[in-house]
Amino acid sequence: MSQIRQAPYLALEHVPGGTRIDRHQHPGHQLIYVSTGVLVAQTSAGSWVASCDRAIWMPAGTWHEHRAYGSSTIHTFRFDLEDRPPRPDIPAIVAVTALLRELLVALTEPGLPKPEVDRLRAVLRDRLHRTPQEPISLPAPRDPRLARACTIALEHLDKPTPLSALADAAHTTERTLSRLFRTETGMSYPQWRAQARAIHAMILLAQGESVTDTGSLCGWSTTSAFIDSFRRALGQTPGAYRDLAAA
């Protein structure tokens, strides 16, 4: 059921893996961070992943729903419309540095005095001015042919699916499907698939899958190839990411 929620300014919640939050929106902007586990937010524009080193910026009025993968600790921060850091008017992934992480965790400590909260929030706003965005998301396809192709590709991430096979299944041409990937997602098909595999790997690792099994389930031919690819995409090894997500 869709609903409008007035989120508290600061909130800390521990949820088991598989927890779903139904479609809703907030009148204010929201920053969503998970210090353990993985949270996937879905909007009409696509899917966005929050993890131990990435937070989701959710602009006011954006309809979205959440699902937690792995036991997750969720930290949420509300910004009034007039108190908004310079973030975009669309959902975005914010890189969480070591300092930003400590701020986010400290702000949601129970019983924190209001003067200390105000000082920490001021530093948080300043750091959000300087924090880069990270393109870890999957844009939602609008064209039904592309939507069908994406669904099939996501169902078979464990093995390469050539664009020609997706085009046949979507009843279109390879050239048309290639164009749709670029115009609707801003990525080529190989880039989109790499992004999808990285996100799926993040989810599996947060759920406790081994590095070897995760690499295999996401279509890497060897564990070493998976480790190298994951490190290039996310800046850390899958083993380190798994340990942080479960810490």
Per-residue pLDDT tens digits of the chain, which is 247 residues long: 455 555 567 788 888 888 898 999 888 889 999 888 888 888 887 888 887 778 888 988 899 999 888 788 899 988 888 776 666 677 888 888 888 889 999 998 888 888 998 899 889 888 887 776 665 677 888 899 999 999 999 999 988 899 999 999 999 999 999 999 999 888 899 989 988 998 889 888 877 889 999 999 998 989 999 998 888 877 778 888 787 766 5
Residues in the chain: 247
What the chain holds in terms of domains, given with CATH numbers, is 3-137 (2.60.120.10), 140-246 (1.10.10.60)
Please state whether the predicted TM-score (pTM) of the whole model is above 0.85: no
Q: Which pLDDT belongs to residue 7?
A: 52
**What is the residue-wise DSSP string for the chain?**
--EE----SEEEEEE-TT-EEEEEE-SSEEEEEEEEEEEEEEETTEEEEEBTTEEEEE-TT--EEEEEEEEEEEEEEEE-GGG--S--SS-EEEE--HHHHHHHHHHT-TT--HHHHHHHHHHHHHHHHHPPEE--EEEPP-SHHHHHHHHHHHHTTTS---HHHHHHHTTS-HHHHHHHHHHHHSS-HHHHHHHHHHHHHHHHHHTT--HHHHHHHTT-SSHHHHHHHHHHHHSS-HHHHHHHHH-
